[in-house]
Amino acid sequence: QVQLVESGGGLVQPGGSLRLSCEASRSIFRMNYMGWYRQVPGKERELVAPITTGGSTNSADSVKGRFTISRDNVKNTVYLPMNSLKPEDPAVYYCTARFFTANYWGQGTQVTVSS
C-alpha cells in the first residue's frame, strides 16, 4: 500500500506561481512511475507530467516550459512547480504512483487561477 498526500494548491493570479508537493508513505525510489494529473469537472483526467524511476521526465504540451516535475528521494516527495499560470490551468491536481502492478492516487489539491 502507498499513501500519497498532495499539498500546495490554492488561489493565484494569472501569471503567478505555485508549487505542488506529493509526499509518499514509502520510498519513492521503489516506485516504477510517479506523475501529476489534473481534472476539471466534466472532463477526463489528463496527464500533466510524469517522472520515471530513472528520473526521466516529460510534460504535456499545454504546460511545457512552465511546469517541471522533480523529486526528492530523501523526502519521498515529488514536486510540480507551476509558473506562468494561465486561466486554463485551474483543476484538481492529483499525484499518482505505480508500485509493482498497482496504481495509487492522492486525494487531489485544487488549483484556482483568477484575478
- Decide if pLDDT at 16 tops 90: yes
C-alpha cell at 87: 486561466
pLDDT digits (tens, 9 = 90+) for 56-113: 999 999 999 999 999 999 999 999 999 999 999 999 999 999 999 999 999 999 999 9
- Decide if pLDDT at 32 tops 90: no
- Decide if pLDDT at 54 tops 90: no
The beta strand positions in the chain, using DSSP E, are 4-7, 10-12, 18-24, 33-39, 46-52, 70-72, 77-82, 91-99, 102-105, 109-113
> Distance (Å, rounded) from C-alpha 115 to C-alpha 106?
28
How confident is the model over 42-53, as a mean pLDDT?
95
Q: How confident is the model at residue 20 (pLDDT cuts 50, 70, 90)?
A: very high
Q: What are phi and psi of 40, to 5 degrees?
A: -115, 155
Query: How much is the pLDDT for 53?
Result: 86
> Distance (Å, rounded) from C-alpha 60 to C-alpha 66?
10
- Decide if pLDDT at 55 tops 90: no
Q: What are phi and psi of 28, to 5 degrees?
A: -75, -15
